[in-house]
Chain A
Amino acid sequence: MIRLLDAGLKRIFKSRIFWIILFIVIGIAVMMIYNSYSDLKEFDEVVKIETLFFNLTTVMGFIVAIFVSLFLGTEYSDGTIRNKIIMGHKRIKIYLSNLILTVFATVLFYIIYLIVISIIGIPIFGGITMSISNLLLIFFDIFVLICAYSSIATFISMICSNIAIATIVNIVLILAMVMVSISSMNILSSPKTVVQSTMVDGAIQMVEVPNPRFPTENERNFHQQVVNVLPTGQSFQIAGQTADPKILSLYSGGVTIIFMGIGLYLFQRKELK
């Protein structure tokens, strides 16, 4: 396994897609600071640096999907995965090393993002206001969330031998998860009552009535579960700091293990060409 990781690490730093995404992440960090600075100047908004720390999670799914598809897909398109099998590496180790490498690269993207935000952001917006323990807990959530995204993307890229199809499937899947998460979050945030205008004796009156679209208790539970289980839902909750950080990592951990398990099972049986 160490040999696979050693060779993989070298390949990460030689890979063009790694450096392209790294520059994109740095660009995102600078853009977020600029936007927050504009809000500070124009609307006198209070900007908390930790909010900026967590914002990258909202696009993390796409970053992982693109990086993993292209990085691991190359193994199939260039045929180099065959070398690992021919020289006697176990398939389980090949799969796990690829998963570890993608997690490593994504964590590295996040660390670089945090460094840029800290270096430029802290002098402008001030230091961290959140308790360190809470901050570390959320960082842990982000780490497990990265594992979940990587596990899904690694699963798809290791099972699908076609790099183009794997990339499309990974991106479309993230898009679909974003849409489902947003839709569930909208339902969850719908108000209990709505103001309705009615005509009473020829005059318009505004009356507060129960919202007919307000979800029932069961529906709320269902949509909350959807948002918790989907990594994209977790991303939004982390960025908005709307969920209990103690439970989010459990959901991400579950997603990681499930996809890793299915991926390992299928990759062991995969017929390579």
Chain B
Amino acid sequence: MEYVLETNNLKKVYRDFKALNNLNIHVPKGSIYGLIGKNGAGKTTLIRLVCGLQKPTDGTYTIYGVKNSNPEILKVRKRIGAIVETPSIYQNMSAKDNLIEQFKLLGIPNLEEIDSLLELVGLSNVGKKKVKHFSLGMKQRLGIAVALAGNPDFLILDEPINGLDPQGIIEIRELILKLNKKKKITILVSSHYLDELSKIATCYGFVDSGQIIKEISAEELEKKMEQKIELKVNEAKDFILYFEKNNINYEIVDNHTINIYGKINIPKFINNLSKNNLQINEIHEKEESLENYYMNLIGGDKND
């Protein structure tokens, strides 16, 4: 798999505080990578390092295969657009002037694309209104437009829906999906709003205490979040043949635990197992949500 961003034991220490502690992340090309973690988990620190705003204390990262220590990284950065925490826009300028600034900084002489960018983010009708009079959602969308100047193929959005009203959240969500699907932009989006991320992400990275504790594709996660039955058995491997034969979606957790995914008629299921001489000791019906999954990953209450 081709990765746009990879890190190798990335570490960032602020005095005595380890913000990143040997963090390893792999952002696949073409994905919407949801970086999930509570406040202070290290999401923004990771983004600051990747954007070159700060230097790692230890470890490395590569963007499009170019290591951060390679001088070529400056050229590769031109392929990145980013919003770190708040949109980086001049408050006393209009939306158009902000984009002209960005185009000039990028050395793009042709300013024709500005109108289409404004249209893409739904700001084509704001005229000469200064950004300081914009709503938070409009500022966020302009921030994305600024980040999109120069047609980057990797977009980093740090908490893009923070503080937005429901309408603003929907607009940003749709914009992210549009950019990923129509413009084929790889997007790394950090958030602590699990529900929102679950609507757009194709991959997830769960961050806690400066580490990625789990990377998982949306497909795998969806599978895990389906209705689940946990079986406690004497010998898990004895069940494999039966499950395979009957197309049952299963996962061997350990030698004595099996998870069965999907809707199942439990009495009938137990009866069939019994007919095949497969004895179960315990059976538990569980329903997993992204929230439960996340809480289980980070260790539940102890992290709150």
Contact = CB atoms under 8 A, between A and B. Distances in A.
Contacts of A83: 88, 102, 105, 146
Given A3-B107, A87-B77, A87-B106, A82 B54 contact: no
Given A14-B93, A272-B54, A87 B88 contact: no
Given A83-B146, A86-B82, A11 B52 contact: no
Interface in A1-43: 2-4, 6-7, 10-11, 14-16
A16 B92 contact: yes
B53 A10 contact: no
B164 interface: no
Nearest to B97: A14
A15 B101 CA distance: 13
Interface in B243-289: none
Nearest to A4: B105
A273 B87 contact: no
B239 to A, nearest CB: 52
A272 B45 CA distance: 11
Contacts of B78: 87-88
B189 to A, nearest CB: 16
B76 A88 contact: yes
A244 interface: no
B212 interface: no
B172 interface: no
B89 interface: yes
B168 to A, nearest CB: 19
Nearest to B102: A83
B104 A6 contact: yes
Interface residues of A, number: 27
Interface string A83-96: 11111111000000
Nearest to A77: B91
Interface residues of B, number: 35
Nearest to B47: A86
A85 B51 contact: yes
Contacts of B48: 272-273
B74 interface: yes
Contacts of B302: none
B17 to A, nearest CB: 13
B85 A273 contact: yes
A74 B85 CA distance: 17
B101 A11 contact: yes
A2 B75 CA distance: 16
Contact of A79 (B73, B88, B107, B150): B88
A90 B74 CA distance: 8
Contacts of B55: 271
B82 A10 contact: no
Contacts of A242: none
Contact of A87 (B54, B86, B150): B150
Nearest to B100: A10
A184 B273 CA distance: 100
Nearest to B88: A79
B5 to A, nearest CB: 14
B51 A80 contact: no
Given A3-B106, A79-B85, 17 more contacts: A3-B104, A7-B104, A11-B101, A14-B92, A14-B93, A80-B90, A80-B101, A83-B88, A85-B51, A86-B80, A86-B81, A86-B84, A88-B73, A88-B74, A88-B78, A272-B53, A272-B54
Interface of B: 48, 51-55, 73-78, 80-82, 84-93, 97, 100-102, 104-107, 146, 150
Interface of A: 2-4, 6-7, 10-11, 14-16, 74, 78-90, 271-273
8 contacts: A6-B104, A10-B104, A14-B92, A80-B90, A86-B52, A87-B77, A87-B80, A89-B74
